[in-house]
Amino acid sequence: MFHESVFLVSSADAVSMSMPTQTGLSAAPIRSTAEAGIVIVLTAALLGLATLGLALAGVAGPVSALVAPLGFAVLAAGVMIALPAHPHPRFGLANTLTTIRAGLAALLGTLIVEADIVAQSSALAWLATGVAGLALALDALDGPIARRAGQTSRFGARFDMEIDALLIALLAGLLVAIDKLGTWALALGVMRYGFALVRLAWPRLAATDLAPSQRRRIVCGVQGIVLVACLAPVVPRPWAAGLAGAALLALTGSFTADLIRLWRQGASRGKSYSAQLGLWRSLVVYYGQPWRTIALRRFHDRLIRPGDRVFDIGAHVGHRSRAMARAGARVIAVEPQPLFADFLSRRVVDDHITLERVAVGATCTTVTLQISARHPTVSTASRAWVNTVGQSPGFRHVRWASQVDVAQTTLAALIARHGVPAFCKIDVEGLEADILAGLDQALALVAFECLPAAREIGLACIDRLEALADDYRYNWVIGEQHRWARRDWLGATDMQRVIRALPAAGCGIDIYARRDAP
């Protein structure tokens, strides 16, 4: 369901596994998963041939020969898990090149295991230099290719960055393993991971993100070039130590400058540890279960056509916004809570997703959000909702300990600003009926949450929709199942009967209302 379902206990199973054909809603053709699978399989095949060649040449033993395939398998699994965040229908040439670089990185892992042999053979040292140099050259191509093809994305940028960091770490490890550099050079490979851990542990440093920096790009690029050069047999050990030492100084200075900047930026926007943990909890719930993400994507593929405009009111951490954008929609993500809005701005907003930092209700005004730091997805602008639902068994451990004033707009005003949506999803913890009260026209498809402890809100939502149009039909989804509870769609009276029959201790449902009119 729309909020963190771990608060509630499921009480029923869905009847149907698919969308009825009479809805008239078509699916967007999503091919990137299949393309990614093909690229991964082909890269794995080439990597297997390369590893077999090393084994036949006596370089890779039985154990080391498994390092590259197993390492690449782990990387490939990570790509497939993260792929739902990729907003484009094609995997793209840029991501293909990055996948090839991941395969080259895995091959370097085999050479590290057999470092004693590599250290004694200039031919193998040149092979390692060539593999690393090719990976570095491909890194220079993927960004421009993605921009030229119009396929830039946060997924692609993160994929590229993680492979960059892995290659640097493996290069540093190989240089130490063949005794070309001292153990101090490992700092070149682990510094980026240490930087990430420091930000994770210190909320003030994670409160904002760094703007793109030419200095950072140059330092990282030089670092890769230096390490590849140090691998070459023609570069003697003293020269390698000098070059790597200079690169380490530059990298240390760059990371220090970034930490100082983050500290200053976070001074007025730092989050408490509880809020940071609450955000991470939400990320784990919504992004940490790939099977749920895949089901969500497939569900929205059937709801949304490419080019549709959709409203995601109560976007939270953007998991639904991403699923709808991936289906080809242009998403207006509405999120008033500063914690989530900041995250969406940094990690989710792209060419397909626009962020509105406002609440939505019956009127344009200012409202007070009641915020739960540990469970931020159930923050709400409805004090009545806190007093009623907050006393139900699934929410008794939730505390709304802080408040923040935010601007509130209406659905009518959002439509005037962005156009009429083909689909409007509403998840605002107690203000669903208020939001529909601010709507002055019937929409083709609307979804809203209904909890047993606040069933009167669901009943009021249906009354409002029926006042806007008399041709709505209703169905629902239980919890996070992402499949219809019925094969047939109900009229308003029958849907309200279902709401009244919800067990008091049961799971909430997400109600979908679609118009039958052509």
254 pLDDT above the threshold of 60: yes
- From 298-302, 406-410, 510-514, the region with the lowest mean pLDDT: 298-302
* 444, 423 contact by CB (below 8 A): yes
315 pLDDT above the threshold of 80: yes
416 pLDDT above the threshold of 90: yes
* 273-515 topology per CATH: Rossmann fold (3.40.50)
Residues in CB range of 395: below 8 A, 6 or more apart: 7, 378, 389, 453
pLDDT tens digits, 279-294: 777 777 787 777 788 8
228 pLDDT above the threshold of 50: yes
Strand partners, 422: none
Measured CA to CA, the distance from residue 311 to residue 317 in angstroms comes to: 15
DSSP 318: S
95 pLDDT above the threshold of 90: yes
Hey, is 472 helix, strand or coil? Answer: strand
488 pLDDT above the threshold of 50: yes
- From 73-77, 366-370, 514-518, the region with the lowest mean pLDDT: 514-518
How many helices (H) and strands (E) in the chain? 19, 10
How many beta carbons lie within 10 A of that of residue 1, not counting itself? 22
Q: What angle do CA 385, 450, 364 make, to 5 degrees?
A: 55
For residue 248, the model assigns a pLDDT of 95
Q: Which amino acid is at 502?
A: L
The residue among 240, 280, 510 whose CA lies nearest residue 375 is 280
At residue 202 the predicted structure's pLDDT band, cuts being 50, 70 and 90, is: confident
- Domain residue spans in the chain? 32-179, 181-270, 273-515
Mean pLDDT of 24-33: 48
Mean pLDDT of 325-345: 91
User: Measured between alpha carbons, how far apart are the two ends of the chain, in Å?
Assistant: 28
At residue 394 the predicted structure's pLDDT band, cuts being 50, 70 and 90, is: low
